[in-house]
Structure 1
Amino acid sequence: MSITTPDQTPDQTPGQAPARTPDGTAALRDARVPEGGLYEGVRILRPFAEDWEERPYEQIEVVPQTRVIGAEIRGADLSRPLSPALREELNRALLEWKVLFFRGAGLTPEQQAGFARNWGDLETNPLLARGSSDEIVRFEKGAAARPTYENVWHTDVTFRERPALGAVLQLREVPPLGGHTMWADMAAAYDNLPTRIRERIDGATAVHDFIPGFARFTSAERLAELQEEFPPVEHPVVRTHPETGRRMLFVNTSFTTHIVGMEREESDRLLAELVRQAHVPEYQVRFAWQPGDIAFWDNRATQHYALFDYAPHRRVAERVAIVGDRPF
Structure 2
Amino acid sequence: MSPQSLQIRRVAGALGAEILGVDLSQDQSDETIAAIRSAFVEHQVIFFRDQSLSPERQVAFGRRFGPLNIHPYVAGMAAHPEVMEIIKEPEDKLNFGGGWHSDMSFLQHPSIGSILYAVETPTFGGDTLFASQAAAFEALTPGLQATLERLNAVHSAGREYSAKGHSAQKRKSMSVVEAEGAVGEFVHPVVKVHPETGRKALYVNPAFTMRFDGWSKKESRPLLDFLFEHCRYEGFTCRFPWRPGSVAMWDNRSVWHFALNDYPGQRRHMRRVTVDETPAAARVAAE
Q: What TM-score, normalized by structure 2, do the two folds share?
A: 0.89
Using the TM superposition, give the Cα deviation of residue 263 of structure 1 relative to its aligned residue in structure 2, in angstroms: 4.0
1:196 and 2:143 correspond: yes
Using the TM superposition, give the Cα deviation of residue 277 of structure 1 relative to its aligned residue in structure 2, in angstroms: 2.3
8 Å CA contact 2:88–2:95 kept in 1: the answer is no
Distance 1:199 1:266 in 2: 19
8 Å CA contact 1:167–1:296 kept in 2: the answer is yes
The 3-state SS of whatever aligns with 2:110 is coil
Matching residue of 2:119: 172
- Which residue, out of 254, 275, 283, partners 1:301? 254
Matching residue of 1:290: 243
Matching residue of 2:275: 322
1:70 and 2:16 correspond: yes
Q: Percent identity?
A: 32
The 3-state SS of whatever aligns with 1:119 is coil
1:96 and 2:42 correspond: yes
1:223 and 2:223 correspond: no
Distance 1:316 1:251 in 2: 28
Distance 1:68 1:86 in 2: 24
Matching residue of 2:215: 262
Distance 1:222 1:84 in 2: 40
The 3-state SS of whatever aligns with 1:92 is helix
Count of residues paired in the alignment: 268
Per the alignment, do residues 263 and 121 of structure 1 end up closer, same or farther by CA in structure 2, a change over 3 Å counting?
closer
Using the TM superposition, give the Cα deviation of residue 126 of structure 1 relative to its aligned residue in structure 2, in angstroms: 2.9
- Which residue, out of 163, 167, 178, partners 2:110? 163
Distance 1:204 1:174 in 2: 41
Using the TM superposition, give the Cα deviation of residue 279 of structure 1 relative to its aligned residue in structure 2, in angstroms: 1.6
Using the TM superposition, give the Cα deviation of residue 262 of structure 1 relative to its aligned residue in structure 2, in angstroms: 2.7
Q: Which amino acid aligns with 1:288?
A: P
1:123 and 2:69 correspond: yes
Distance 2:154 2:195 in 1: 21
Using the TM superposition, give the Cα deviation of residue 196 of structure 1 relative to its aligned residue in structure 2, in angstroms: 3.0
Q: What TM-score, normalized by structure 1, do the two folds share?
A: 0.78
Using the TM superposition, give the Cα deviation of residue 74 of structure 1 relative to its aligned residue in structure 2, in angstroms: 0.4
For residues 79-125 of structure 1, the C-alpha deviation after alignment (integer angstroms, 9 at most, x for no partner) is 11111111111111001111111101121111111101100111001
Per the alignment, do residues 125 and 316 of structure 1 end up closer, same or farther by CA in structure 2, a change over 3 Å counting?
same
Distance 1:184 1:74 in 2: 22
Distance 1:58 1:130 in 2: 36
- Which residue, out of 81, 103, 106, partners 1:134? 81
Identify, as 1 or 2, the structure richer in strand.
2
8 Å CA contact 1:59–1:89 kept in 2: the answer is no
The 3-state SS of whatever aligns with 1:101 is strand
Distance 2:95 2:161 in 1: 8
Using the TM superposition, give the Cα deviation of residue 67 of structure 1 relative to its aligned residue in structure 2, in angstroms: 1.3
The 3-state SS of whatever aligns with 1:94 is helix
Using the TM superposition, give the Cα deviation of residue 282 of structure 1 relative to its aligned residue in structure 2, in angstroms: 1.3
1:250 and 2:206 correspond: no
The 3-state SS of whatever aligns with 2:36 is helix
8 Å CA contact 1:102–1:295 kept in 2: the answer is yes
Distance 2:250 2:217 in 1: 33
Distance 1:263 1:233 in 2: 15
Distance 2:9 2:155 in 1: 35
Distance 1:271 1:171 in 2: 33
Greater relative contact order (Cα 8 A, min sep 6): structure 1 or 2? 2
Matching residue of 2:51: 105
The 3-state SS of whatever aligns with 1:66 is coil
Matching residue of 1:207: 154
1:311 and 2:264 correspond: yes
Matching residue of 1:15: none
8 Å CA contact 2:133–2:203 kept in 1: the answer is yes
Greater CA radius of gyration, 1 or 2? Answer: 1
8 Å CA contact 1:238–1:248 kept in 2: the answer is yes
Using the TM superposition, give the Cα deviation of residue 61 of structure 1 relative to its aligned residue in structure 2, in angstroms: 0.4
Using the TM superposition, give the Cα deviation of residue 58 of structure 1 relative to its aligned residue in structure 2, in angstroms: 2.1
- Which residue, out of 103, 106, 131, partners 1:184? 131
Q: Which amino acid aligns with 1:139?
A: I
